[in-house]
Amino acid sequence: MTNLLDPSILFFIFGIFAGLVRSNLEIPQQISRFLSLYLLMALGLKGGFALNKSGFTPEIAISLGLAIALAIAVPLVGYNLLKQKLDKLDAAAIAAAYGSVSAVTFITATQVLDQNGIAYGGHMAAAMALMESPAIIIAIVLANRIRLQRSGDKTGHTPIGKILHESFTDGGQLLLLGSLMVGIISGEAGLKVMAPFSIDLFKGLLAFFLLDMGLVAARSIGELKGKPPITFLYGFIAPPVHAMAALALCLMFGVALGDTVLLMILAASASYIAVPAVLRHAMPEVNPALYMGTSLGITFPLNIIVGIPVYIWLASYFVK
């Protein structure tokens, strides 16, 4: 219940309400884009300052390794399940969305952890960045293979080099990694200078951004009309299943509580920014509403309102 009393979460719920009653309240797209970039920059700086202080340890290497393993396993398993009920290209696109991650869900979770006094490593910002691209690359490889099987030639083939370039030079991801490096290099001196920008303003701007995300999520719910029932089920069931898989791996390798929570939340989240940006061009056969509506209309609100506190409770129960 504490999560529901957080101003950021309340603004998100208010945004959903405003969208459902069809209010004309809206956040201009350029302001929304600025808020998104600000949050990524602030998160990267915070992670970099923490890494400067802690250094690179075996524990950090384990967390990053688990992040990459999850980013590869989730889309592959998801695709093999979904293709039983959906067209293979549709299955690959949805698997990519759920194999990638939501930066906003992650950022919101870090704030909840801070409020609960649960420590987590600054390297988890890097883990988030590492988990964005593998699912996209896997989806494109699958799509190319499916098209080849159907056409008997390379019509519609998307070069992997192009996809790699788009995935790793995406503006948001590049800003996150660049800010992380700035934080690592500048260290304590940088923290003192940037604290008013990256720490003091963070909570208020996150609340403003979540208000906008609530409005967008409400609109996305309407895009789910007429979609196959499996997409609804997957949107509800996949997040907790992925989170439990992450929890099992973290328990196996002795990952600390805060890092375990964030890996669970990253595994449970779904991309609605990076994946659509690439797949709209790389997989034009798939209606974006299929993966956007599910990830943003179902999974994102589920994680923000219910998932984060539940995953924190589960991790706290099992991680000693």
CB atoms closer than 10 angstroms to residue 306: 14
Contact 141, 111 (CB under 8 A): no
pTM: 0.82
Given CATH 1.20.1530.20, say whether it is the number of domain 29-318: yes
Q: Find out whether 108 and 46 touch, Cβ atoms under 8 Å.
A: no
| Residues in the chain, overall count | 320
**Higher pLDDT residue, 174 or 162?**
174
Does the pLDDT of residue 129 top 90, yes or no?
Answer: no
270-301 residue pLDDT tens:
987 777 767 777 788 887 778 878 888 889 99
Distance between CA 301 and CA 213 in Å, rounded? 9
Q: Taking Cα atoms as reference points, which of 40, 41, 282, 38 lies closest to residue 166?
A: 282
Q: Are 71 and 131 in contact (CB under 8 A)?
A: yes
Nearest to 129 by CA among 86, 189, 80, 169: 169
Q: Do residues 101 and 132 lie in contact, with contact meaning Cβ atoms separated by under 8 Å?
A: yes
pLDDT tens, position by position, 177-203:
788 889 889 988 998 999 888 888 888
Percent of the chain exceeding pLDDT 70 equals: 91
